[in-house]
Structure 1
């Protein structure tokens, strides 16, 4: 191992052991190690992929707050007082020379009863055994948040497995959401575990998790055939809040700020409305998506909540006030576009 690519691949094969050693303040959630940043501070912004999934390599990381990304050599470089390549390579070789790493690599996590690196098939099976959300805990959860726009992308299951922070395998009811590509193929499933006693999100570590391939894709809510206009946003509840006040508009929930920035709009889209969250991560994601969409010849507009996200606005202001404000924002944006034309 005499060059960066060889050492990076070797580290990636031991991604979980590496994270436990170099990023001990984080925790394992599904196929990712979640931590605050590349310096290893506590938090949830940075995610390191632990195993290959849907063709994406292990050992790669992305910081959802800063939009930075890299490999495990970058993590070492950030934590060394003098991060020369010689020092980084030396630390990497020292780590790889530790005994017992191979046994860690060969330990298989039985999460959901599958070891298939392509988790899209697992996602499709989970959605298939779900039921429509009408008259279920999932519907009560959404209605408690003021949401009344649903759709066939949403399913419910009374007992979906997950592993808690101690590694124990448990079951809770979950709202399921189908993630699809632009051709309508199911590529993944978002799971929101729910507390049956309070009809709210369960009090567990990372109660919202994705299985399958989310990059470039989204949870979609369409009314009839593809429209010229599409509203794309981050969280499922955020997007459905807009759908509640505009029940005929097409929606795409990308689930995280990072994946909003990676979203690939459908070819028929002429106007893309980015319903970003009111924070730095939302601003960064909106800019990335704007650049991609404008390169495709799509007119792009931003929609901003008053509070952190549109579900906060819906619950605080009500549907009538949110509809009026959004209608005004949309009309003003179109007027400005026409004036520039």
Structure 2
């Protein structure tokens, strides 16, 4: 009878084809597969070991942005959105070509991600942050044309940073953003390291990282309403919020997590502001399907350029508002600044 560790070892023996199948947006880098996170988002902060070397086993992974780690069974759970071990085992068997008759017994030795520890670390970090008024965070956002802020944001002059392939940690200035669930509980923190002098994102490898639990959650702005604007990046959604300062917002931080966002029960209408790329459109479509299935009205609105911050800085607030008014309808007036739009 197979154990979970037996199944994990069998997957590890086929680590590279596994990664190509389940994490297709990653890249091969020597003995590692590099990807953004355990759901397969493009990026570089997570590494999957493809071969046994120096006493380290193939099939193990670590996300250097969140401190998460695990084996290939964990990746199946993340990518497929599975919470039941029997479903994970069935998926693994299908990949390996095993028959369903081969039972898999859960093993106490199977690595488990200690999300509660990461959430507590995120809360402690946020607790040491400062309001952004008059800080480099406010300067950074204003430099990108953004005028919508919120209590979810904080400034910290010394947030530890470690390069994905490095061991040395150094304190660097950063913008913090609180990630919360639908009950308002803090589940994580988004960290964006800043170049204070240039008022931009720091020139570091993977300068935007998440610690804690992002799955189903978001960085939120504004009051409770039956309408909710959802999108990817903080800067993208704060750009939307600059144009519509009274629209409640949920920044899901990645295209994958946009598709996985848990829509609050009180929301009857979802406005999805996607980035203009394949991942953004797929994430928007996934959220839209789930929203419509639950009986909610859905509006999908895309930018002219790559994202709404590009639109804000390149073509301006009035133009964006005009497009929203035309494509979404007069309802946008309820969330706009008085006097916005044509006289």
Decide whether aligned partners of structure 1 residues 124 and 24 sit closer, same or farther in structure 2, where only a CA change above 3 A counts.
same
CA RMSD of aligned residues (A): 4.2
Partner of 2:198: 198
After superposition, where does 1:1-341 map in structure 2 within 5 Å?
Answer: 3=2, 5-10=4-9, 25=29, 34-35=34-35, 44=44, 50=61, 58-59=71-72, 60-61=74-75, 118-164=117-163, 165-223=165-223, 226-331=224-329
Preserved contact between residue 67 and residue 211 of structure 2 (Cα < 8 Å): no
Decide whether aligned partners of structure 1 residues 54 and 228 sit closer, same or farther in structure 2, where only a CA change above 3 A counts.
farther
What is the SS of the residue equivalent to 1:122? Answer: helix
Q: Normalising by the residue count of structure 1, what TM-score does the alignment of the two structures yield? A: 0.72
What is the SS of the residue equivalent to 1:198? Answer: coil
C-alpha deviations, 1:216-252, integer Å up to 9, x for none?
00000013xx111100000000000000010000000
Decide whether aligned partners of structure 1 residues 27 and 229 sit closer, same or farther in structure 2, where only a CA change above 3 A counts.
farther
Preserved contact between residue 154 and residue 178 of structure 1 (Cα < 8 Å): yes
**Unpaired stretches in structure 2, ≥5 consecutive residues:** 20-26, 49-59, 83-87, 100-108, 333-343
Distance 1:280 1:265 in 2: 22
Distance 2:119 2:37 in 1: 28
Distance 1:43 1:133 in 2: 28
C-alpha deviations, 1:277-308, integer Å up to 9, x for none?
11111111112111211222111110111111
Distance 1:126 1:160 in 2: 8
Decide whether aligned partners of structure 1 residues 116 and 313 sit closer, same or farther in structure 2, where only a CA change above 3 A counts.
closer
Aligned pair count reads 290
Distance 1:213 1:276 in 2: 22
> How far 1:24 sits from its partner (Å)?
5.8
**Unpaired stretches in structure 1, ≥5 consecutive residues:** 87-101, 106-114, 335-341
C-alpha deviations, 1:51-90, integer Å up to 9, x for none?
699999643338x9xx778989999x99xxxx8669xxxx
Q: Normalising by the residue count of structure 2, what TM-score does the alignment of the two structures yield? A: 0.71
C-alpha deviations, 1:7-27, integer Å up to 9, x for none?
344579x99xx78xx886179
What is the SS of the residue equivalent to 1:272? Answer: strand
